[in-house]
Structure 1
Amino acid sequence: MEKRLKQSLGIDVSKLKLSLSLGFLTGKLEKEFISHEDVSNDLSGYKTLLKWLKKSVDSSVDFLIVMEATGVYHQGIAHYLHSKGYAVCVMQSGRVKRYAQSLDQRSKTDALDSRMLSMLGLERTIRLWHPPSEELQQLKGLSRERSSLLKDRTTENNRQGAIDSGVHRNPKALKRHKNRLKLLNAQIELIEQEMQELVSKNKELKRKMDFLISIPGISFKSAATVVGETLGFESIVNTKQLASYAGYDIILRESGNFKGKTKISKRGNSHIRAALHMPSMTCVRCNPTLKQFYNRLKPNKAKPLVALIAVQRKLLILMYTLWKNEQVYDAKFETKKQQKHEAPAARDNKLIAQFVS
């Protein structure tokens, strides 16, 4: 058997089944693949996969398991394989899509997708996945539930307004709408209390959440949503990746004489963008740093909303920075930073003047 340099298992995940492809990188830098029939996406399928891996994988060679994040359907197999000691990587769908587009592959099937993921693991150096804490997963679930109820409440408010404005009013229908609104408000309040209790019970999580809440304009609910959706920024390694994850990355289309509009991609987590909309409007009024930033951008933009979106992006990056550095917000940070750079320049100018004289 030819020497193998690397091994990678690609798993294409769907709700009911897992498509598998095991790839090997040989000493001649050639790729070889073997496949296995699809297994069910449950415990029995996981055990079947485990038996196949023990027979097929060389324990003396680096081995990586690659899968794409697919809502909640990948979580079971990812946690199972990680608990068995395997190196697991859960890729963001955008990165997988860009890699797939670089291949000369026009067809798309589950088997081809699993081979593509295996090939990705053989060719690239990928950051490993680690299960997030139970508190962060619960916080994400609560923030998603709250977001859904807020949308339902808005819908019910609009319906009640339509009934009130109609010529033929139905008192019974109005009563039912009011009861639904009362129930929605009670459930939203209950969820917010659960989020508060969840964070307060974890001292480390509460300590780091306080860093984000120290930003003028950021409430506990906004901070909890961002932390929950990013799972404590666990898989984020830099601000560029964070902006792309939230859909704040900039897209510019130009070709020849054609000049397209510059806009954000919105190909990211919409829950984060929704959570930062109202805080950004508050920040441009009460946050000294972001207020100055907004006033500088606004005259140069055709629509004020464009400058407001730029504030949201900057606000998200600020939250990430405070979380990672474990720092409280300092309104005079930019001023101190500017003075720090100006001091050496002034000293150099003084030395040059003395030398010339």
Structure 2
Amino acid sequence: MKRKLVVGIDVGKERCAVSLFDGERFRDFSVPSSPEELLRRITPYLPGKMSSVLFVMEATGVYHLKLALFLKERGYPVSVVNPFVVKKYAEMLQKRAKTDPVDARILAQFGFFASPPPFVPRDKKAYLLEEIQKTIEDYQKRRTEILNHLEALHHHPFPHPRLQKLYEEELQRIEETLRTLEKEAEDLALQYAPREYRLLLSIPGVGKRLACAILGILSPLTRFARSKELASFLGLAPQIDQSGKRKERAWLSKRGNPFLRKLLFLAALSASRFNEQCRMLYERLLSRGKPKKVALIAVANKLLRQIFAILRSGIPYDPHYLERKRSLAFQGT
């Protein structure tokens, strides 16, 4: 459907740059980062039908989410686009300036001419799962820092006993907080998607943290038609660079969710040992002379395909599933 008006919004912490574009001219605003105030300011310029307007914004951490949910709940079409895509669109337009008003105009133009896909909100529990997992990572980083401080004090020629006690007390508080958060995440996952959570844990290499993160960040999985789309979304898809006689090069795009990509890579370390199919792939690549990091990335991709297949089929992990399926098909012929 052709939009009569697109509202490009460059969302900031304190203010939003807003640009209304009807295909010919722009109308620009700067408003406080309050969804209610933004809607109040631009309502007089909106067309009568909600379906004739589209709000477009970039995915900017948590800042855009409150506004996108606010507009969606009120029935307005919303699109949240990848900043990388918008950056390439700006380069195509040969835009050299990088200011909030310019970014809002680019978003409005992009929404009007490119028709980006609609924003699909996740379940509240999914957002909470993602938030808890990121908090767990933050506390794990703090725990590592304190352990490093304690190790340094242990080797210091004049260790201060009071400092060591302070670090040990802080470490104990962090450990208790981590246990509480991990229990809360598991309980929430069992409330939100118990079947999917248990299916994920059936895969060797997939632990509770990764399972909770997948349910939180990738929900609903139905938005991905193929596992390759999922790999691309997470930045695990290879990029190919080859032109003329120049030798072909390949590297990871790393354009997706860095947090989930990191968890998948860590899970690949375990899967390369305890997941039969992943272990065979890992050993085969090493035998061909591939670096360990390259082999682990391939294992992460393999693990991701297993995750996709199991959640789609609803069948727990079985390393011999395909062999049994082929055997049954052969017996039936």
TM superposition score normalised by structure 2: 0.89
Residue 145 of structure 2 corresponds to residue 155 of structure 1: yes
Return the offset for 1:44: 4.2
8 Å CA contact 2:189–2:215 kept in 1: the answer is no
Residue 59 of structure 2 corresponds to residue 69 of structure 1: yes
Return the offset for 1:337: 6.2
Residue from 48, 52, 66 that aligns with 2:40: 48
Q: Tell me, which stretches of 5 or more residues in structure 2 are unaligned?
A: none
8 Å CA contact 1:226–1:275 kept in 2: the answer is no
Deviations 1:290-312 (A, max 9, x none): 12222222222441121011101
Q: Based on CA coordinates, which of the two structures has the bigger radius of gyration?
A: 1
Residue 287 of structure 2 corresponds to residue 299 of structure 1: yes
* RMSD across aligned positions (CA): 2.6
Residue from 174, 188, 191 that aligns with 2:178: 188
SS in 2 for 1:38: strand
Return the offset for 1:137: 0.8
Number of equivalences: 331
Which one is further off, 229-238 or 279-288?
229-238
TM superposition score normalised by structure 1: 0.83
8 Å CA contact 1:246–1:270 kept in 2: the answer is yes
Letter in 2 for 1:22: L
Return the offset for 1:143: 0.3
Q: Which residue of 2 aligns with 1:164?
A: 154
Residue 303 of structure 2 corresponds to residue 315 of structure 1: yes
Return the offset for 1:146: 0.1
Letter in 1 for 2:5: Q
8 Å CA contact 1:42–1:76 kept in 2: the answer is no
Q: Which residue of 2 aligns with 1:215?
A: 203
Q: Which residue of 1 aligns with 2:28?
A: 36
Q: Which residue of 2 aligns with 1:90?
A: 80
Deviations 1:125-168 (A, max 9, x none): 42211221111111111000000011111111111111111222
Deviations 1:146-200 (A, max 9, x none): 0001111111111111111122222211111111111111110010011122122
Q: Tell me, which stretches of 5 or more residues in structure 1 are unaligned?
A: 25-30, 348-357
| C-alpha separation in 1, matches of 2:11 and 2:94 | 22
Which one is further off, 82-91 or 258-267?
258-267
| C-alpha separation in 1, matches of 2:212 and 2:51 | 41
8 Å CA contact 2:6–2:54 kept in 1: the answer is yes
| C-alpha separation in 2, matches of 1:234 and 1:100 | 31
| C-alpha separation in 1, matches of 2:308 and 2:64 | 26
Letter in 1 for 2:40: T
Identical positions, percent: 28
| C-alpha separation in 2, matches of 1:337 and 1:101 | 50
Q: Which residue of 1 aligns with 2:19?
A: 21
Q: Which residue of 2 aligns with 1:355?
A: none
Letter in 2 for 1:318: Q
| C-alpha separation in 2, matches of 1:294 and 1:340 | 29
Correspondence 1:191-202 to 2 at 5 A: 191-202=181-192
Return the offset for 1:218: 1.3
Return the offset for 1:246: 2.2
| C-alpha separation in 1, matches of 2:49 and 2:85 | 29
Return the offset for 1:63: 2.7
Aligned in 2, Cα 1:286/1:51: closer, same or farther, shift over 3 Å? same
